[in-house]
Chains A and B, each alone.
Chain A
């Protein structure tokens, strides 16, 4: 800072210092070059610093502090007071039926929502890849649910899935089925919650697949066509293999999203228990219930870390699979 101000001063004085013309500008030039080098060397760090500072403050520190809090008894009413309990929060978690219930629900809802969503997205992307009239309209329309918030979408779907006056039950009855008590059944409630996730994310994933399909070189299709491959065979033997990394990517992203599922089950029935018998309570919801309704922030922290460990396992599995994909090629 000081050097730059003196430089500016020298530069300003330069025209008036007529008696010794050569010396000053040359020194100023050297300084400018040095400053230039200094600038080139350190400015990259200055540019990335905001991201890392904010992440350290609001990502890394909370992550570690959650770990620290998970080893304490912390009450919501007096969060400043922490009482060391060691691993007790974790051992209680393992004995807690509701934890295993939430883990199971998270897994089944995750499968129920992720698999149909990605399969349909792949099919839709294939259709969008044709030459279409109004292709922009279809793409925007299919992406619209993505702009709808979890809360708004869930409130609407909760009505559509209503037991007595919901449109879905009305339609089922119209074609001769019985009323379904969507919210109170285990499978039915999980299906309904999954339907919200599927509705919100299918279009988004379709666009991701479409982008990947457009990047597949035409030569592949042409040579497959030369070998007499039918349209269907081209899809399975050219498109799908070329999309494998993208598919893996979407599987990972959707799995991460499914692990954190929270808003949909919270608002579907409007309670943190996830239904009368916790039939659709997910891990995220269980964390919220423990922390903000049972006032046990220490236990909530332990659940958060359990979720983190699950994500790390998913990450590792993903890494192993993608490494195998690479070596096979």
Chain B
């Protein structure tokens, strides 16, 4: 492994081993078994020439145009967020002038305070941390249990049940709002957080995600060994499955937290401005609750900042999670 890594830095040499630079660091162990060595000489002779011509897609270093295009799209992705902060630091009057402001003004903290107090963003943030945290925890727990069962245990109708899980992803949220609303009205749960937490405690995506991870990551022998030692199934879960599943659990937790934080349709029906989540409070702002554009932007900034912070800290893991869920999805 070590020599390959060293050579990877100079992939365009004539070193016979340079074909091993196919071990893209990102692909890691997943890139499959090595090639039968019998085919090496013939292939190498030709591929050397081709490689020098630079034609095998993935090995190439990016050119200037690639960097330029990626930079443009990166700026496009970040600009609206930066501008949210710019607008939040200005006054409503300044936002009603042309040209629009491009740099920060001095009104940021005043606007944040107005949003925090008058638009109820403070309470909304606390509520959302609780709601999204609870949903993420329970989704991860139940998804790991079910994913483990689908990945490693034998039981009747397993495949049909797994297909059912996948099928449930097709059911859109719009199909449950009317009965849920009727139930909430009946129970007098309007404005109470359990109304938005309870319907989201499990996720089919989560079950599938954990199943796909555990199928490869968890050695069946490990479970069997534990069982031979007389461990009952909960012990196996606690001492064998959870430790192995931990990285995937963390990623699923973050993904679920992001989704739950941004959940929109059901919360704006079940909650009001008296006890809002972030999205409910922002909807209130958007519908003219406070007719001040700079305060609206301050609210949007407050509601996005925690997730942006999480992205700065765990961006790599979240990206890995999205990609991991994708290959297998």
Contacts and interface: CB of A to CB of B under 8 A. Distances in A.
Q: Do A and B come from one complex?
A: yes
11 contacts: A35-B232, A51-B207, A130-B58, A148-B81, A149-B262, A149-B279, A164-B96, A225-B56, A262-B264, A288-B269, A297-B181
A148 B283 CA distance: 14
B117 interface: no
Interface in A183-240: 199, 202-204, 207-208, 210-215, 217-219, 221-222, 225-226, 229-231, 234-235, 238-239
A40 B168 CA distance: 27
A98 to B, nearest CB: 17
Interface string A6-47: 000000000000000000000000001001100111011111
Nearest to A205: B326
Q: Which secondary structure dominates chain A's binding surface?
A: helix
Interface in A134-155: 135-155
B172 A256 contact: yes
Contacts of B38: none
A75 to B, nearest CB: 11
B1 interface: no
Contacts of B293: 159
Contact of B175 (A151, A159, A308): A308
Name the 5 nearest CB pairs between A and B, nearest first.
Answer: A140-B315, A62-B176, A43-B233, A130-B62, A211-B323
Contact of A165 (B97, B179, B202, B310): B97
B81 A144 contact: yes
A256 B174 CA distance: 12
The B contact surface, by secondary structure, is helix
Given A143-B322, A212-B327, A222-B50, A305 B264 contact: no
B70 to A, nearest CB: 5
A226 B46 CA distance: 7
B319 A144 contact: no
Contacts of B155: 41, 44-45
Contacts of A129: 57-58
B40 interface: no
B207 to A, nearest CB: 6
Interface in B50-101: 50, 53, 55-63, 66-67, 69-70, 73-74, 76-78, 80-81, 83-84, 87, 95-100
B153 A59 contact: no
Contacts of B258: 146-147
A257 to B, nearest CB: 10
Contacts of B177: 62, 291, 300, 304
B227 interface: yes
A149 B57 contact: no
Nearest to B289: A270
A141 B315 CA distance: 9
A126 to B, nearest CB: 8
Contacts of B181: 79, 291, 297
Contacts of B237: 47
A74 B165 CA distance: 31
Interface centre among B161, B172, B329 (most CB of A within 10 A): B172
B264 A150 contact: yes
Given A39-B232, A153-B80, A156-B83, A55 B62 contact: no
A128 B258 CA distance: 24
Interface residues of A, number: 122
Given A124-B73, A147-B311, A308-B171, 5 more contacts: A44-B158, A142-B74, A143-B315, A147-B262, A263-B279
Interface stretch (B23-31, B104-112, B243-251): B23-31
B175 A246 contact: no
Interface in A275-329: 284, 287-288, 291-292, 297, 300-301, 303-305, 307-308, 311-312, 315
A199 B61 contact: no
Contact of A214 (B26, B150, B296, B308): B26
A199 B80 contact: yes
B200 to A, nearest CB: 8
A300 B99 CA distance: 44
A61 B179 contact: yes
Interface string B289-308: 00001001101110110011
A94 interface: no
A320 B318 CA distance: 33
Contact of B172 (A32, A146, A267, A311): A311
B266 to A, nearest CB: 10
B172 A260 contact: yes
A267 B299 CA distance: 14
B230 A36 contact: yes
A176 interface: no
B298 to A, nearest CB: 11
B141 to A, nearest CB: 8
B286 A225 contact: no
Contacts of A40: 227, 233
Contacts of A50: 142, 145-146, 202
A208 B326 contact: yes
A235 B265 contact: no
Given A141-B78, A143-B311, A62 B327 contact: no
A273 interface: no
B139 to A, nearest CB: 10
A313 to B, nearest CB: 12
Contacts of B163: none
Given A155-B282, A215-B30, A141 B179 contact: no
